[in-house]
Amino acid sequence: MLPLMLAAGCKSQYEALLASSNVEAKYAAAMNYFNTKKYSKSAQLFESLSVQVGGTPREDTVQYYWGLSNYRFKDYFTAETNFTKFLQNFPRSPFTEDARFLRLDCLYRSTYRYELDQTPTRAALIAIEEYMREYKEDTPHLEACRKMQKDLNDRLDQKAYESARLYYKMEDYKASRVAFKNVLKDDSENIYREQILYYTAMSSYHYARLSVQKKQKDRYLVFADDYLNFIGEYPESKYRRELDVMYKRSQNALGRYTGSQEELKAKEREFERERRQIERAQKSENKKNETSAKNKQ
């Protein structure tokens, strides 16, 4: 019974403090709650204080710690709003640089995984680039900014790559080749460049293979260009053996294959065996990972 009464008393004391006009007591309590990691309570007190200390030397401190409390409470949306307002009102405060970085971190933490809308990702990247241009080497947060920037750019790369690959999965090979080419046209340094060039070649191969006979020649020649482009960049790629088989098939279809049909079929069988072994190994690895993830839960 006594603990319940004490809890009720503490709650009443906090609510009375929240409604109080005693700035000194409220400020001391807000800082105490913040230092003891009770960020929800400190945020509410700093929010209340922000009205009471307007125009005083404490105003920037209160507004900064209001945002910092929400940030530590992991309410990144509210914290970003706090820091944006702070930067508008106090561009020369001692807290300004940290507030700018924390605002970036809020924007970064509010982005979505690659499958979802990437508008917040692009907004965060713009803000990070502006910050890095302004502070250059004069900030302890530069390395953190670079890591955020890389992660967000990688996410955009994956979004573009997976969006193009969707056409390939749907077996719309003409559209998938165009989509993959456009990905590299927009960003030649995409981190999935090797896979993109591989799927570009595979798309043109399947598009040619499924075409009517009178159009196959020109389309196999397009595949040959894509194949040579790929092996020129990635001669040691894990995709090389598969594309070599596709190339021999295309040359055979064009009447240019100089080896025997038995040799070609033997290479195709060898590749199919290897492909099935890789698929089985991958399935086994995925199953182990799933089991491991369940055990950790």
pLDDT band per the 50, 70, 90 thresholds, residue 297: very low
- Region 166-180: mean pLDDT is 97
d(CA 234, CA 230): 6
pLDDT band per the 50, 70, 90 thresholds, residue 17: confident
Tokens read off for 197:
């060039």
- Domain architecture of the chain: domains with CATH: 23-156 (1.25.40.10)
pLDDT at residue 5, as a whole number: 38
Contact 156, 121 (CB under 8 A): yes
pLDDT over 90, % of the chain: 69
Tokens 């020109």 belong to which residue?
Answer: 218
- Region 180-196: mean pLDDT is 96
pLDDT at residue 289, as a whole number: 58
pLDDT band per the 50, 70, 90 thresholds, residue 2: very low
pLDDT band per the 50, 70, 90 thresholds, residue 8: very low
User: pLDDT, tens digit, for every residue of 145-158?
Assistant: 999 999 999 999 99
Contact 163, 185 (CB under 8 A): no
pLDDT at residue 259, as a whole number: 66
Q: What is the pTM of this model?
A: 0.78
d(CA 171, CA 107): 37
Output the CA–CA distances (angstroms, integers) from residue 25 to 19, 22, 30, 222, in the order listed.
11, 6, 9, 77
pLDDT at residue 268, as a whole number: 65
d(CA 22, CA 24): 6
User: pLDDT, tens digit, for every residue of 93-145?
Assistant: 999 999 999 999 999 999 999 888 899 999 999 999 999 998 877 788 999 99
DSSP percent split of the chain into helix, strand, coil, nearest 5: 80, 0, 20
**Count of beta carbons in the 10 Å neighbourhood of residue 241:** 14
Tokens read off for 81:
């709003």
Please list the alpha-helical segments (H only) found in 234-260.
240-253
